Amino acid sequence: MNRTILLTGIILGLLAVILGAFGAHGLEKLVDKDAIETYEVGVRYQMYHALFLLFVGLWTGLADKVKKLVFIFVLVGVILFSGSIYLLAMNELTAFDFKIIGFLTPIGGVFMILGWVFVAYKLVKTT
């Protein structure tokens, strides 16, 4: 499980750097400033959670069952939260109206919060 968590954290971090560079150097020519700022929020939260997964994967004080739940919460959260933000930020570039998936952003946020809360709960419970 640790290997999967670490590899996922690395991939999410790598993608955050690539997407951040695209947002800073390519997307700015295609969408307005507000869309860029929205896009950057998605990148920032993806990177935060990539680092969080690296921490969870390296932490020896958490049981594998706990790590698996946190991994699922965070991965689903990043996909829903950051993924929906990326699509919403690029809405003006497509004929499809991505605003209909806007409800996924807060759901993803709740999943990310649950990952943090679950780690905090396990830490408090074991000390």
CA–CA gap between residue 84 and residue 77 (Å, rounded): 10
pTM recorded for the entire structure: 0.90
List, for the chain, all residue ranges whose pLDDT scores fall below the cut of 70: 127
What is the domain extent for residue 109?
Answer: 2-126
Our count of domains for the chain comes to 1
d(CA 6, CA 92): 35
Per-residue pLDDT at 29 = 83
pLDDT tens readout for residues 67-93: 999 999 999 999 999 999 999 988 877
Q: What is the CA radius of gyration of the chain?
A: 16
